[in-house]
Structure 1
Amino acid sequence: MTGTLIAPGTATGTPAHRDPNVLRWLAAYTSSMVGDSVYYIALSWAAVQQGSPAQAGAVMAVSAVPRALLMLGGGVIADRFGPRRVVIGSDLVRCAAGLSVAALLFLTSPGLWPLALLAVVFGTVDAVFMPAVGALPARVTTRDQLARVQGMRGLAIRFASVVGGPLGGLAVAIGGAAAAFGLAGLLIAVSVPLLISVRMRELAVDDKAEARGGSADAGDAGEGAGGRSAAVVGAPDSEARGATAPAPDKAPARASTPLGDLRAGLRYIRAHRVLAPLMLAIALGDLGFVGPLNVGLTLLADERGWGASGMGWVLSGFGVGAGAAALLLTVRGRLPHAGHVAGWAILAGSVAIGALAFVPGVLAAVGVALLVGLLAGLSGALCGALLQTQADPAYLGRVTAVSSLVSLGFAPLSMPLSAAAIGAWGTGPVFVGSAAVCGLGGVVALCVRDLRRAELPG
C-alpha cells in the first residue's frame, strides 16, 4: 500500500503515557536534557578553572546573546524544515561540539576561548532547538493527549535537573571537565537514534501552504488545529506522500521567504483570540517570577542567615511542588476549565511569592516554596498545554519561539533589576512588587473571555 494513512487529529486510542511512540520521544528528550544539565556543570567548572570569576561569568552568559537574537528565526526554521529534523540536527551539532571540547581539554589546556566558542555554539543551536522541541509533541501524538505530554515533559525536566547535577559533579570528580563534556556529548547523542525511530504525524499540504504565506490569510488560519487532519508517516517531516491534494478552488501557494514566514507567524499570534492574551499572561508571570526565585532567593537566604543549605532546601521544596503539578497533569491527562484554572493558579502563586519574603524560618520557607512550585508548575503546564492545543501545528515552531523568547530572553532581564532593587529597598518590597507583576498575568487570563473559557481537548 502506497497511500498515506490520514488519521483524525483529535482522538487517539492509546494514552500518551502508554504509547511507545511518545515514550521514545520522551526518552530522547530526557536524555538530551540530562546532557544539557551535565554540560552546564562542565562549562561552569572549566570556566572557573581556566579564568577569573568575572571571566567565568562572562563565559556562562555569552550563550544568552545568540539565543535571544536568533530565537524567532529558529521558529521559522522549525516550521519550514520540520521539528524532528531540526532537533536531530541540533543534537548532532551539540554532541560534536561537546566531544570536541572534551578532546581539546584532555589533550591540552587551551584557556577560555574554546569554552566561550562552545557557549556561543550552544546558544546559537538552542535558538533553533527550543522552538523545534516545542513543535514536536503535536507531530508525535494527537491533540487530546498534548496536555498529558506537557506534564510528561515537565517530569522529564525535573528529572534532568535532579540527576544531571550529580552526574556532572561525579564526572568532574573522576576525570575533570573533559570527562564531564564527554559525558554530556554522549547523553545528547543517545537522543538521536531514539528520535529517528519516532513516527511523525505529518501536516496536511493545505496547512503547510497557509503557514508559509500561501493563499490563505494568516489570520484565517487561526481557527486552530481542531479541524485539521494529520497524516501518520514513518519518514521524518517529509511531505506526506499520497496526502489529500489542495482543493481545486484553492489558489496555489505563493513562494515565501523566511522573513515572510516570520511575519505570517507574528500576524497569526496577534490575531489569535487565545494565543495573544496567553502570551501576555506568560510574559507577566515570568517577569514577576524569575527575579525573586533566582537572585532574590539567594539574597533572602543571605539576609535571613539560612545559608547555602537552607537555600537548597527551599529550592528543593519548589522543585517538589513543580514536579507534583507535572505528575498531576500526566496522570489526569487534562483539567477542566484550563484557562480559568491557569488564571487563578497564577494569582495564587503570586501571593505565595510575596509571602516568601516574610516567612519566619527555613521550614516555613520550604512550605511556601513548595506551594509556589505547585501553583507555578500547574499554571506553567496549563499555559504550555494551551499553547500546544490552541496553535495550528503549522505555526507551532513560531509560537513556541515567541513564548521561549519571552521566558528565556526577556524574563531573565528582571534578575539584575531585582538585585539592584533589593539593594536599594530590601527583599520585602521587591518580592511584593514582583508578586504584583506576576499577578497581573493571572488578571489577564481571567479578564480576557476567550482565554478564560479556553479548554483542553479530551
Structure 2
Amino acid sequence: MTATLAAPPASTATPAHRDGNVRRWLAAYTSSMLGDTVYYIALSWAAVRIGTPAQAGLVMAVGALPRAVLMLGGGVIADRFGPRRVVIGSDAVRCAAVLAVAALLFLTRPGLWPLALLALVFGAVDAVFVPAVGALPARLTAQDQLGRVQGLRSLAIRFAAVVGAPLGGLGVATGGAPAAFALAGLLIAVSVPLLVSVRVRDLPADPADAPKDTAWADLKAGLRHIRGHRVLAPLMLAIALGDLGFVGPLNVGLTLLADRRGWGATGMGWILAGFGTGAAAASLLLAVRGRLPRAGLVAGCTIIAGSVAVGALAYAPTLPAAVGTAVLVGLLTGLSGVMCGALIQTRSDPAFLGRVTAVSSLVSLGLTPLSMPFAAAAIGAWGLRPVYVVSAAVCGLGGVVALAVRVLRTAELPR
C-alpha cells in the first residue's frame, strides 16, 4: 500500500500527461469526482422524495458543517500519514457508505435519517480527502510538471461536472435513488485499485518537517509556514477575497438573475454551460502548455478582469449576451484559479502541502458558501446590479493584493 520511489529530479524529460503513474492517478481522481457528482444528485433526489423541501435542504447542508470544522485537521492527517494512503482510505469509506445507503433504500423505506447520516459521513471524510488530494501531486511528479498536473486536475473536475450530472439523472430514471447511489458507489470504487497502483516518492528526511508530538503542534507549524511565507501568505488572502466575491453572484445570484430576466432554468443552464466552457479552456491551456510565464502577474490581472466580467453579468441585456459574458468569466476566473493552484503546489514545502491545501480549501469550500444567504438577502433588499457590483469589487480586491505584493506579482512557476 505504500509503494515509493526515489525523489525525482527538479526537471523531468517525461511530461506529466505522458507519465503512466500520473495518468493512473488522474483516472482515479476523475472516477472519484464522477461518483461525487452522481452522489449529490442521488442525495438531493432522495431527500426531496422522502421529506419536505425544508428537510431536503437541511439534509443537503448537513455535510458542509463537518467539512468546514474538520478541514484543518484533515490537512494534518494528510501530512502525517501520507496523502496516498489517506486518499485510498477516504475513497474506500465513501464507497462503503454510499453502497450501504443504496442497499438500505432498496430494501426498506427508512426515512431521512440514513440520508442525513450519509451526508454527515461524506462531509467528514471530505475534510480529509480534499487536503490529501491537494498534497498528492508533489509526490507523483517533478516540480516543473506541477502546473500541468494542476491543469489536468481542473479538466477532470470540469469533465466530472458535465458528464456526472446526466449519469446521475440516468441512474435516478432507471432505478430511482437506490440505483443512483449504487452507481455513485461503483464509480468511487473504481478509483481505489487505481490509487493502489500509483507509486509515490518519500519526502527528503528533514527533522524540521517531521511530525510534532501532537496534531495541534502540527497544525500550528503549518499555519506558521503559511504566515511566514512571502508568497503563500498574500496568495491565501487573494484567493479568499476572490472566492468571497465570486460565490454569491455565480450561485444564488445566477438563479435569481435567470428568474427575474425570464430566462428560466434553461437559460441558467446555458449560462452555466458557458462558464464551464471558459473554465475548461483555461484548464486545457495550462495542461497543454505546462507553464505560463509571470504566473503571479497573470493571476492578479485575470482576477481583476474576471471580477469586471462578473459584475457585467447583471447588465447583460439578453441571454446570448449573458452566455458570452459567462464564457469570459469562466475563462478569466478559471485561468486565475489554475494559476493560484499551481503556485500553491510549487511554492509550498511538500511536507506542509496537506495543511496548506486545507487552509485554501477551507476558504473556498467552508467559509465562502456562508456568503450565499447574505447575497440572496442583499439582492432582495437592493436588487441584482448593486449586489453584483459590490461582489465584483470584493473579488477584484484579490487581484489588487496579488499585484500590490511584489514577491507574489513576480512569482514564477518552475521551468
Q: Give the counterpart letter for 2:370 in structure 1.
A: L
Does residue 378 in structure 1 map to residue 376 in structure 2? no
Does residue 393 in structure 1 map to residue 393 in structure 2? no
CA distance in 1, matches of 2:130, 2:335: 21
Cα distance, 1:5 vs. partner? Answer: 6.4
Report which of the two has the higher share of helix.
Answer: 2
Q: Percent identity?
A: 77
- TM-score calculated relative to the size of structure 1: 0.89
Does residue 404 in structure 1 map to residue 404 in structure 2? no
Report the equivalent of 2:382: 425
Report the equivalent of 2:314: 357
Report the equivalent of 1:443: 400
Distance 1:273 1:407, change over 3 A: same
Report the equivalent of 1:47: 47
Deviations 1:388-410 (A, max 9, x none): 00000000000000000000111
Q: Give the counterpart letter for 1:277 in structure 2.
A: P
Q: Which has the higher Rg, Structure 1 or Structure 2?
A: 1
Q: Secondary structure at the match of 2:230?
A: coil
Cα distance, 1:111 vs. partner? Answer: 0.2
CA distance in 1, matches of 2:205, 2:403: 36
- TM-score calculated relative to the size of structure 2: 0.98
Cα distance, 1:8 vs. partner? Answer: 4.3
Cα distance, 1:13 vs. partner? Answer: 1.3
Q: Secondary structure at the match of 1:203?
A: coil
Q: Give the counterpart letter for 1:266 in structure 2.
A: L
Q: Give the counterpart letter for 2:268 in structure 1.
A: M
Report the equivalent of 2:142: 142
Cα distance, 1:32 vs. partner? Answer: 0.2
Does residue 189 in structure 1 map to residue 189 in structure 2? yes
Q: Between Structure 1 and Structure 2, how many residues are aligned? A: 412
- Of residues 230, 233, 242 in structure 2, which corresponds to 1:276? 233
Report the equivalent of 1:368: 325
Q: Give the counterpart letter for 1:357 in structure 2.
A: A
CA distance in 2, matches of 1:445, 1:30: 31
1:31 and 1:190 in contact (8 A); partners too: yes
Which ranges in structure 1 are unaligned for 5 or more consecutive residues?
214-254
Runs of 4+ in 1 over 6 A off after TM superposition: none
Q: Give the counterpart letter for 2:209 in structure 1.
A: A
Does residue 261 in structure 1 map to residue 218 in structure 2? yes
2:5 and 2:202 in contact (8 A); partners too: no
Q: Secondary structure at the match of 2:202?
A: strand
Q: Give the counterpart letter for 1:445 in structure 2.
A: A
2:98 and 2:184 in contact (8 A); partners too: yes
1:212 and 1:264 in contact (8 A); partners too: no
1:211 and 1:261 in contact (8 A); partners too: no
Q: Give the counterpart letter for 1:210 in structure 2.
A: A
Report the equivalent of 2:275: 318
CA distance in 2, matches of 1:183, 1:137: 27
CA distance in 2, matches of 1:90, 1:5: 23
CA distance in 2, matches of 1:122, 1:422: 32
Report the equivalent of 1:211: 209
Report the equivalent of 2:56: 56
Does residue 300 in structure 1 map to residue 287 in structure 2? no
Q: Give the counterpart letter for 1:178 in structure 2.
A: P
2:144 and 2:414 in contact (8 A); partners too: yes
Q: Give the counterpart letter for 1:280 in structure 2.
A: L
Q: Secondary structure at the match of 2:251?
A: helix
Which ranges in structure 2 are unaligned for 5 or more consecutive residues?
none
Q: Give the counterpart letter for 1:329 in structure 2.
A: L
